[in-house]
Amino acid sequence: MKRLSAVSGLAFSLAATFAIVFLSQAEPGNKRPATTQQKTSAKHEIHITDQNGNPVVSGRPSGTGQIVDVQVGPAFAFDPSTVDINVGDTVRWTWAGSGHSVTSGPPCEADSQYCSPDDQACASGILSNTGTVYTHTFDQPGVYDYFCAAHCTFGMIGTVNVSGGCAPSGWTAGPDLPSVGTRLAGVYFQPNGNFYGMGGRSSDVAGSDFTNPFEFDPGANSWAIKSATYPDNEVNNMACGELSVDGTSYIYCVGGSAAGATTATARVFRYDPVADTIETLDPGDNWPGDIAGTILPGGFTVLNNRLYILGGFNINVSATSEIWEFDPTVGVGAKWTQKVDTPEAIMYAPTCAIDGTIYVAGASDFDTVNLLVIDTTNSFSFDPVANTIGSIAPIPRATGETRALTFNGQMYVMGGGRVAPNPSNEVDIYDPVSNSWTTGDPFINGRRNFPTDTDGTSRIWLVGGYDVTGVPVASMEIFCAAGGPTPSPTPTPTVTPTVTPPVTPTPTVTPSVTPSVTPTVTPSVTPSPSPTPSEPPPSPTPRVTPRPRPTPFPRPTP
């Protein structure tokens, strides 16, 4: 409580500092176009070569251990704003304007993973001037966001997609979770590269709830039980995600229930995996979606340093439709904002975020007649900024009680479901650009209610859950895209002036600037298919049809 107040106070003073910085920066020549013109010529004076003396193609690696260049400024942009590199490559940022920083973290909150000028005091957002050069070598695959501390709110943000670093390609078995376990939340924690199983339980019997986080270290290929202890036993079916506050990243977890219970908590806690400590937030920050005290979080995902919870399960009563947004950086009582309702009530819903849009595909529903959790093909998109719902092509199979992951700009819906033939091992892939579905490599053992997450480019982890017979298991499976499924396009000497300009509409970024190569066109540049809010969402197919009798389903055990 005390700490949170200090944090928000600091955030405020930081914001004030940035505002001052911006104002002073804007003083000389307030006319942006003029400034831009002036500094565009400066851009051409930067000639960078690689270790072999060859000109470096901006934003694109040409092999292993390469240096990739990004220009900082002079306008409020990084150029290119997105680079795709391989593990072991280095990004070299060169300042073509003054008063900017490279600060790692989800915009606009530092996470202290790297920052200019020297990786020190990242949260203070030190600004540097023209001519500054800052480099960072990326040793782990993943999606690394960064921003300028002075101009983040003006859209001065960038992304480094790092691929590779694992082998062999495809699914392989990993080491068992230290216990059989189900209903954990899986979180990949980028600052230390580990995968966490948060909460959960070893059986459906009361008292079987886990008391400590599980940590998987991909480098050591082993699991550990951490020392930090959960604040209570209502740790099943939590909504968890990595969020940063004032230079530190945490795993925030919301809600949950105890094994065998029909009530649910609204409390929020955060786990610091580096310090191995858990802190419960002020009750004033409890999730308002569970005012009833019986509602579990539905689908959840992180976008722009906010955790979103879509729908929920009013235990053994009904699925729910509220969407809530959690911002960890603001004061007690102000963190939660209610958004538009989901088009149909959803629970245990596969949810992920791609390029600013949140997607749901497949979700559990509650059959209020037979009092059963069932699978559906409910699918839709949600734009948190416009606060609108859009329609998407529905997932081709019914599922639920699983997660969706964002992997190289696509949505991966991981197995799940409980209505025959589920639980499944199928991986359904949604491409938001083409609004279409394909299937990926299935994992080995069908399951549901299991923790899973990804580094975003190369690896997916999943473990535990209920197997096809409904029994909690400990087995782990690991997916690797060794070469990276979306290799950078090869440089072409041909002049292609018709390229899609990068997303930031700053005057400096004109296609004519680099006529000799095809600029890296990244998926994030392409706008998501605009959801058509006017259209009704796809009609749900709730599969209320009774299942074949031979497999009687027990009363749900949330």
- CA-to-CA separations, 399 to 83, 189, 231, 378, 554, in angstroms, rounded: 35, 27, 32, 9, 18
> Of the two residues 150 and 347, which places its CB atom closer to Cu ion in the complex?
150
Q: Is 397 among the residues that bind Cu ion (CB under 5 A)? A: no
Closest CA to 93 of 152, 145, 148, 133: 133
How is residue 396 written in tokens? 């081709």
> Of the two residues 160 and 240, which places its CB atom closer to Cu ion in the complex?
160
Angular region, 339: left φ>0, alpha ψ -120 to 50, beta rest:
beta
**Contact window for Cu ion (CB under 5 A) among 98-106, 181-189, 348-356, 391-399:** 98-106
Q: Is 238 among the residues that bind Cu ion (CB under 5 A)? A: no
CA distance 39 to 73: 9
**Binding track over 333-352 against Cu ion, x by CB under 5 A:** --------------------
CA distance 462 to 353: 19
> Of the two residues 62 and 153, which places its CB atom closer to Cu ion in the complex?
153
Q: Is 100 among the residues that bind Cu ion (CB under 5 A)? A: yes
Contacts of 449 (CB under 8 A, 6+ apart): 182, 183, 237, 348, 401, 402, 416, 465, 466
**Shortest Cβ distance from residue 469 to Cu ion (Å)?**
56
User: Do you find a cis peptide bond into 352, omega within 30 degrees of 0?
Assistant: no
Site for Cu ion in 443-462 (CB under 5 A): none
**Shortest Cβ distance from residue 99 to Cu ion (Å)?**
6
Q: Is 150 among the residues that bind Cu ion (CB under 5 A)? A: yes
How is residue 555 written in tokens? 């009363």
**Shortest Cβ distance from residue 145 to Cu ion (Å)?**
15
**Shortest Cβ distance from residue 22 to Cu ion (Å)?**
8
> Could you tell me whether strands 67-72 and 265-272 are parallel, antiparallel, or unpaired per DSSP bridges?
unpaired
> Of the two residues 158 and 542, which places its CB atom closer to Cu ion in the complex?
158
Q: Which residue has the tokens 């190289």?
A: 408
Site for Cu ion in 155-174 (CB under 5 A): 156
**Shortest Cβ distance from residue 419 to Cu ion (Å)?**
52
Q: Is 270 among the residues that bind Cu ion (CB under 5 A)? A: no
> Of the two residues 151 and 267, which places its CB atom closer to Cu ion in the complex?
151
Which of residues 83, 148, 352, 517 is near Cu ion by CB under 5 A? Answer: 148
> Of the two residues 108 and 296, which places its CB atom closer to Cu ion in the complex?
108
**Shortest Cβ distance from residue 156 to Cu ion (Å)?**
5
**Shortest Cβ distance from residue 100 to Cu ion (Å)?**
3
CA distance 6 to 14: 12
> Of the two residues 131 and 207, which places its CB atom closer to Cu ion in the complex?
131
Which of residues 39, 60, 151, 335 is near Cu ion by CB under 5 A? Answer: 151
CA distance 239 to 194: 18
CA distance 139 to 237: 33
# chain residues binding Cu ion, by CB under 5 A: 5
**Shortest Cβ distance from residue 57 to Cu ion (Å)?**
24
- CA-to-CA separations, 115 to 33, 61, 98, 197, in angstroms, rounded: 28, 21, 16, 29
Residues that bind Cu ion (CB under 5 A): 100, 148, 150-151, 156
